[in-house]
Amino acid sequence: MENHQLIMVIDFGGQYNHLIARRVRECGVYCEVKPYTVSIEEIKQKNPIGIIFTGGPNSVYVKDAPRIDPALYQLGIPILGICYGIQLIAQELGGHVTSPDRREYGRTETTRRPVESLLFGDQPDHFISWMSHTDYIDRLPEGFVATAATASCPTAAMENPKQKIYGLQMHPEVNHTEGGIGLLRNFLYNICGAAGDWSMKDYAVTAVEQIKKTVGDGKVLLALSGGVDSSVAAALLERAVGDRLTCIFVDHGLMRKNEGDEVEQVFGHGKINFIRVNAADRFLGRLQGVSDPERKRKIIGEEFIRVFEDEGRKIGKVDFLAQGTIYPDVVESGVGEAAVIKSHHNVGGLPAVVDFKGLIEPLRMLFKDEVRALGEQLGLPEFLVWRQPFPGPGLAIRVLGEITEEKLSILRDADAIFREEISNAGLARSINQYFAVLTGMRSVGVMGDGRTYDYTLALRGVTTTDFMTADWAKIPYDVLEKVSGRIINEVRGINRIVYDITSKPPATIEWE
Ligand SMILES: Nc1ncnc2c1ncn2[C@@H]1O[C@H](COP(=O)(O)OP(=O)(O)OP(=O)(O)O)[C@@H](O)[C@H]1O
Ligand SMILES: O=c1[nH]c(=O)c2[nH+]cn([C@@H]3O[C@H](COP(=O)(O)O)[C@@H](O)[C@H]3O)c2[nH]1
Ligand SMILES: NC(=O)CC[C@H](N)C(=O)O
Ligand SMILES: [Mg+2]
């Protein structure tokens, strides 16, 4: 993305780092996230117009707290520190950070101090901000002024405009901070001198250029699931390398009802080189007797790669493997400073040794809704762009515990009914992801005057834009009733159906 101005977000392990990055992009500025271990040389070489420090779980005053080379403060590049970031700046530049007995968490009334500030611009004098911290700055570094305060935090914001160093204790990136995006916009446009030279259209153009540069005259194999992300990746790659691209769709025996054939129908007859590999025996064989979710994910991640390697050898001289990896896959797999939530098969589940020269992941920085915007930009058909996501490990993580052919078959039938009824009710677009889960639990029921002892099926429906946080979908009772009735009547092996009413967090969307 060398033709665009760059904002570099330096990651100290905060929960909302992804949001900062996408807010910056929403403001029309290209943005990359780098771990705090990034070197000064790399920063100089990338020449960002501004730098943002994220929040983080540590306290800046403990030994081994994440730090950055203080030489950074001398480069003259504008810096905005958020939460941990403002605390780090304060401490590094000679101020003091302490821990009070009171914490500020969530909605907090915040007051501007009567100082002119480019960062605050026309932000009102009183506003609600979203806080998430224990520590606070009790002594400012030399040359800094406090620009906002709350009842328990005297330094809710500070700045040294001469040095172009700014800090916010609150999180401007979350929606709950009133005027939060305005604060970011002020930083970008009034302080860093952003030109707003970036959009999704540019993303397509530069991504294609970059792929061309990386691949040269080599060949690329794309892991294509038929889902949104890999279909958008296919469109980008096809533009970049034409028929030196081969798309491999792995039918691992963990697809939904009829899905393998449907994917082949869509991609198998167009202009792209498309290969369907039927690998159910390989995958199910390796998953036999395995019930731990992380083990399942790792086995599937590895087996995917082995299949791609085998196919690569058949084609001959394939240099690059491409995947439709997106940002949530990366953060949840615990890459960088974030905690491991689950190993997405295409990131944390990847084996250590891979028989390709390189990995190409043109969407690695983007969120689902940004990928969709890009898909529309590239002219992909609506049904592909708006398909609900389906995880790479497929039904393996929706049959809880050990996987058997019988359980897969029960789940496939139940899931197909659920999806059909959601679609019949006209809810397919408003519920962003919906599916059935076969729990390992069995319970007693009575059917046809006889006793049953069968599986409990869970239905899950969520509303979300970026799949990082989600609310459970308020599916009308009559739709749930119809689904429940049909599944009990049409699918053998299930005698009880429950609806999952947890949001993410604390739950995740998938059950494993
Ligand atoms: N059955 C499969 N065959 C080949 N590649 C796959 C398969 N399933 C997943 N992948 C690869 O793993 C990546 C991540 O899977 P993921 O499900 O997150 O994305 P997707 O399938 O492209 O889109 P969606 O999130 O809409 O389902 C895909 O982009 C693709 O590169
Ligand atoms: O390709 C994928 N490989 C995986 O291993 C994986 N795990 C979860 N998901 C999908 O990611 C989104 C967030 O899911 P969770 O809330 O369960 O983490 C949801 O849309 C999930 O369906 C995956 N996609
Ligand atoms: N969210 C944060 O960045 C928190 C910073 C620091 N750990 C504190 O508690 O104040
Ligand atoms: Mg998928």
CA–centroid distance, 227 to ligand 1, in Å, is 6
Query: How many whole angstroms separate alpha carbon 322 and alpha carbon 219?
Result: 10
409 is in an annotated binding site: no
Query: How many whole angstroms separate alpha carbon 177 and alpha carbon 167?
Result: 15
CA–centroid distance, 315 to ligand 4, in Å, is 24
**Strands, DSSP E only, in 289-328?**
318-322
Write down the pLDDT at residue 4: 85
231 is in an annotated binding site: yes
- Residue 136 φ then ψ, to 5°: -150, 165
Average model confidence (pLDDT) for the chain? 93
Residue 389 CB–ligand 1 contact under 6 Å: yes
Query: How many whole angstroms separate alpha carbon 171 and alpha carbon 53?
Result: 11
pTM: 0.80
Q: What is the mean pLDDT of residues 22-43?
A: 93
Pocket test for ligand 3, best of 12, 133, 174 (most atoms within 8 A of CB): 133
Sheet with 79-82: strands ordered across: 30-35, 6-11, 50-53, 79-82, 165-168, 157-160, 145-150, 104-112, 126-133
Map out the domains of the chain with their CATH numbers: 6-191 (3.40.50.880), 200-385 (3.40.50.620), 404-499 (3.30.300.10)
Proportion of the chain above pLDDT 70, given as a percent:
96
Atom of ligand 2 nearest to the CA of 342: 18
225 is in an annotated binding site: yes
Pocket test for ligand 3, best of 16, 36, 87 (most atoms within 8 A of CB): 87
| Residue in 504, 503, 299, 478 with CA at minimum distance from that of residue 394 | 299
- For residue 505, whether the previous peptide bond is cis, meaning omega lies within 30 degrees of 0, is yes
Write down the pLDDT at residue 1: 47
Atom of ligand 2 nearest to the CA of 227: 1
CA–centroid distance, 434 to ligand 4, in Å, is 13
CA–centroid distance, 366 to ligand 3, in Å, is 26
- Residue 445 φ then ψ, to 5°: -140, 175
CA–centroid distance, 120 to ligand 3, in Å, is 22
Residue 254 CB–ligand 1 contact under 6 Å: no
* Contact residues for 255 (Cβ-Cβ < 8 A; gap 6+): 263, 394, 395
Write down the pLDDT at residue 339: 65
- Residue 149 φ then ψ, to 5°: -150, 160
**How many angstroms from the chain centroid is the CA of residue 493?**
35
* Contact residues for 41 (Cβ-Cβ < 8 A; gap 6+): none
Write down the pLDDT at residue 467: 82
Cβ atoms within 10 Å of 499's Cβ, excluding its own: 15
**Angle at the Cα of 134 (from 111 to 79), degrees rounded to 5?**
65
Q: Please confirm, yes or no, whether 153 is among the known catalytic residues.
A: no
pLDDT tens by residue, 279-317: 999 999 999 999 999 999 999 999 999 999 999 999 988
| Complex prediction ipTM | 0.88
Q: What is the mean pLDDT of residues 342-348?
A: 77
pLDDT confidence bin for 336, thresholds 50/70/90:
low
Write down the pLDDT at residue 332: 67
Taking the alpha carbons at both ends of the chain, their separation in whole angstroms is 36
Write down the pLDDT at residue 61: 96
Q: In the predicted model, is pLDDT for residue 174 greater than 90?
A: no
pLDDT confidence bin for 349, thresholds 50/70/90:
low
- Please give the DSSP secondary-structure letter assigned to residue 141: P
Query: How many whole angstroms separate alpha carbon 338 and alpha carbon 86?
Result: 19
Q: One of 18, 31, 159, 173 is an active-site residue; which one?
A: 173
Q: In the predicted model, is pLDDT for residue 114 greater than 70?
A: yes
Residue 223 CB–ligand 1 contact under 6 Å: yes
Pocket, ligand 2, Cβ cutoff 6 A: 297, 328-329, 332, 342, 344-346, 389, 391-393, 433, 467, 504, 508-510
Q: One of 133, 171, 252, 345 is an active-site residue; which one?
A: 171
117 is in an annotated binding site: no
Write down the pLDDT at residue 147: 98
Q: In the predicted model, is pLDDT for residue 2 greater than 60?
A: no
Residue type for 413, please?
Answer: D
Nearest CA to ligand 3 atom 3: 55
Burial of 457 (0-12, 13-18, 19+ CB in 10 A): buried
CA–centroid distance, 115 to ligand 2, in Å, is 46
Q: Please confirm, yes or no, whether 173 is among the known catalytic residues.
A: yes
pLDDT tens by residue, 440-464: 999 999 988 899 999 999 999 999 8
Q: In the predicted model, is pLDDT for residue 353 greater than 70?
A: no
As a dihedral over the C-alpha atoms of residue 7, residue 49, residue 135, residue 170, rounded to 10 degrees, the angle is -70
**How many angstroms from the chain centroid is the CA of residue 326?**
6
- Report CA Rg, the chain: 25
Pocket, ligand 3, Cβ cutoff 6 A: 14, 55-59, 83-84, 132-135
105: Cα within 13 Å, side-chain hemisphere: 4
Query: How many whole angstroms separate alpha carbon 252 and alpha carbon 274?
Result: 16
Query: How many whole angstroms separate alpha carbon 396 and alpha carbon 393?
Result: 6
229 is in an annotated binding site: yes
